Amino acid sequence: MGDLNVAPTKIDLNDPVRNAEHVCFHPKARAAYEAARGDLWTDLFREKEKGPGHYTYWDYMIPTNFPRNRGWRIDLMLGTPPAVQRLQKIWIDKAPRGWEKPSDHTFLVAEFGR
């Protein structure tokens, strides 16, 4: 898990058309991510949330990106089948991104059961 700097699909960034060749969304980057993920690793966030508009990164060079939710989901948590089975909740904690002098990323949080 962590800052993988790859938005896996079009719904993982605000503007996939404009950013089609961006290093974090480039087809070669996404292909490398998929190859590394293989059949064993599952994107845990997408197990619970299928829709667009969920981001973990907003470019701080454009101050309006965060309030307008123009971001990227490039911080990922992957899990093997036992983690998928135990996953209860997973969410993006946006609150820290709103703090004074925050990181341009925020936290991805998961809860697992037994």
Supply 64's token pair.
Answer: 């309006």
| pLDDT of amino acid 1 | 87
The answer to whether the CB of 7 falls within 8 A of the CB of 13 is yes
| Domain housing 17 | 2-112
Alpha-carbon span 89 to 109, nearest angstrom: 8
Provide CB contacts within 8 A for 112, sequence distance 6+: 83, 86, 87, 88
Q: Tell me what the mean pLDDT of segment 66-90 comes to.
A: 97
Supply 48's token pair.
Answer: 């619970």
Model pTM?
0.93
Kindly report the CATH number assigned to the domain that includes residue 105.
Answer: 3.60.10.10
Cβ of 37: how many Cβ atoms within 10 Å? 16
Residue reference for tokens 């002098």: 101
pLDDT in tens, 17-48: 999 999 999 999 999 999 999 999 999 999 99
Q: How many domains does the chain have?
A: 1
The answer to whether the CB of 48 falls within 8 A of the CB of 64 is no
Provide CB contacts within 8 A for 113, sequence distance 6+: 86, 88
